Chain A
Amino acid sequence: MIREFTFIDFLYLLAATRWTLALTAVAFAGGGLVGLTVALLRVSALAPMRWLAGLYVLVVQGTPLLVWLFVFFFGLSIFGIAVSPWIAAAASFSIYAGAFLGEIWRGCLQAIPRTQWEAGGSLGLSFVQQLRYIIVPQALRLAIPPTVGFLVQLIKNTSLAAVIGFIELTREGQLTTASTFRPFTVYLTVAAIYFALCFPLTQWSRRLERRLHVAR
């Protein structure tokens, strides 16, 4: 039955936004763990570790996120593993975010001058101590603006989870469209909600970036 797009539909969209945010949070946590590992391996003294992490980044940044979603959602079923949209989305987004965050954080670690490592090393600090007390605290300040910027990418990209039936904002938009036949109004509303989530973060990231430049 065809209905009008009403305030109730808008509330449904807002309700579905929770799942957009939940997926973002899970992906950020999972991706953060993977990313931290990737970044540390990429600055490791052991060449095979660097290559391994580099290969991971190369593959993930060279394949569409959609492929990962489909591999996890459809592909794993051939091994007799039933994968729910939640698990498939969480896994895909963690893998994806891990590669990008890893690269961002590696850049921040490497932006700290070599001489800081040298100064730590010549005081007798171990590699891990140098990272922990000298490099990471400085890199952290550099990392915040681009990490917030990536968070915006992540929120937007969770929309792709709609294609495996994960009900978040975009999927809810598709469902609402199907019942109201108001695609223009519905998708414009959906876009507006994404904008309301992302724009403040974008601005915040820019402000942080500017402050960092002033401080230098």
Chain B
Amino acid sequence: MTYSFQFRDVFAAWDSLLDGLILTLELSLFTMVMGLLIGIAGASGRVYGPAWVRRPIAVYVEAIRNTPLIVQLFLIFFGLPSAGIKFDADTAAFVALSINLGAYSIEIVRAGLEAIPRSQIEAGQSLGLSGWQIFRYVIAFPALKMMYPSLASQFVLLMLATSVVSQISAQDLFHAASIIQSRTFRDFEVYAVVAAAYLALAMIFRLLFAGVYWLLFARR
């Protein structure tokens, strides 16, 4: 018994694949920006804020990091409407992904901030720098350099994880695959093509992040 691979039907649906790819890219990029903002704001509050700021942030981080993304997604898309909050699939996907990535980013940024030795801060203080100046000139750069690799790999993981939004019928790349699968019955070929597309995306993101790292930190 032999099976002949046939990619023609899969590539014939290239427009659905492209649409899916675009949503995957949009979701990934918007979420990365949002996640980074949440990460910086949250980590600053977590490290420098008063207790009533620190505690809720800690609870948020632990709640998200110890539950699956798909359950968070279902809770937001299927659960929240019963509390009167309704999103369309794309918005729900963006909200869930941002909340998820935000929690991971907070931990990464926090670790970066806390890795700066106290002696560096003391050196800044002894030179008469203000708190903001110390953050701006003494802490920010080395902390960013330290957290950058973890952030970058977390972002790539996030890009791959966006595939779960297909489960609330957001029309991303993975969703496009299931549609084509049900139309062509070329199961293996469809997923091979989609796997290759994700792999290519992951490589492109890694290269971009490496390039940015080089621009920001490696020269000098």
Interface residues of A (CB under 8 A from B): 59, 61-67, 70-71, 74-80, 152, 156-157, 159-160, 162-163, 170, 173-174, 177, 182-188, 190-191, 194-195, 198-199, 202
* Extra contacts besides A162-B70, A188-B75 (11): CB < 8 Å: A59-B199, A62-B203, A70-B178, A80-B1, A159-B71, A188-B79, A191-B72, A191-B75, A194-B71, A198-B67, A199-B66
- Bound-state CA distance A173–B83 (Å) is 18
Evaluate whether A194 and B67 lie within 8 angstroms (CB atoms) in the complex, with A64-B174, A184-B79, A187-B75 already known: yes
A170 touches B70 (CB 8 A): yes
Sampled A-B contacts (18; CB under 8 Å): A62-B156, A64-B160, A75-B191, A78-B187, A80-B3, A157-B68, A160-B68, A162-B70, A170-B71, A170-B74, A183-B75, A183-B79, A184-B80, A187-B74, A188-B79, A191-B67, A194-B66, A202-B65
B160 neighbours in A (Cβ, 8 Å): 62-65
Complex Cα spacing A184 to B82, Å = 7
Which residues of B180-220 are within 8 A (CB) of A? 181, 187-188, 191-192, 194-195, 198-199, 202-203
- When distances are taken between beta carbons in the complex, the residues of chain B under 8 Å from A173 are 71, 74
Most chain B beta carbons < 10 A, residue from A160, A177, A191: A191
Instruction: Kindly report which residue of chain A lies nearest to residue B75, judged by CB atoms.
Output: A187
Against A, the Cβ 8 Å flags (1 = close, 0 = not) of B131-171 are 00000000000000000000000001000110110110000
Given known pairs A63-B198, A170-B68, the reply for A70 and B191 (CB within 8 Å) is yes
> What is the CB-to-nearest-CB distance from A195 to chain B, in angstroms, rounded to a whole number?
5
Taking residues whose C-beta sits less than 8 angstroms from the other chain, chain B's interface range is 35 or more
Q: Once the chains bind, are B164 and A160 in contact (CB under 8 Å)? A: yes
Contact B187 A74 (CB under 8 A): yes
How close is A174's CB to chain B, nearest CB, in angstroms? Answer: 8
Q: Are A67 and B63 touching (Cβ within 8 A)? A: no
B68–A159 CB distance below 8 A: yes
Residues of A within 8 A of B164 (CB): 66, 160
With the chains together, A65 CA to B167 CA distance in Å?
14
The 8 closest A-B pairs by CB, nearest first: A184-B79, A62-B202, A183-B78, A159-B68, A198-B66, A75-B188, A64-B163, A74-B187
Q: Is B38 an interface residue (CB 8 A)?
A: no
Q: In the complex, what residues of A have CB within 8 A of residue B198's CB? A: 62-64, 67
- Determine whether B27 belongs to the interface, using a CB cutoff of 8 Å to chain A: no
Whether A195 contacts B67 in the complex (CB less than 8 A), given A62-B203, A64-B161, A66-B174, comes out as yes
Beyond A63-B202, A64-B198, is A152–B79 a contact (Cβ under 8 Å)? Answer: no
Assembled-state Cα–Cα distance A67/B163 (Å): 9
Q: Tell me if B82 and A183 are in contact (CB < 8 A).
A: yes
The CA-CA distance from A5 to B9 in the complex, in Å, is: 45
Q: Is B62 an interface residue (CB 8 A)?
A: yes
Assembled-state Cα–Cα distance A79/B81 (Å): 43
Q: Are A63 and B199 in contact (CB under 8 A)?
A: yes
Measured CA separation A187–B177 after assembly (Å): 27
Say yes or no: A160 contacts B70, CB within 8 Å. yes
- Residues in B with CB closer than 8 Å to A160 are 68, 70, 164
The complex places the Cα of A185 from the Cα of B78 at a distance, in Å, of 10
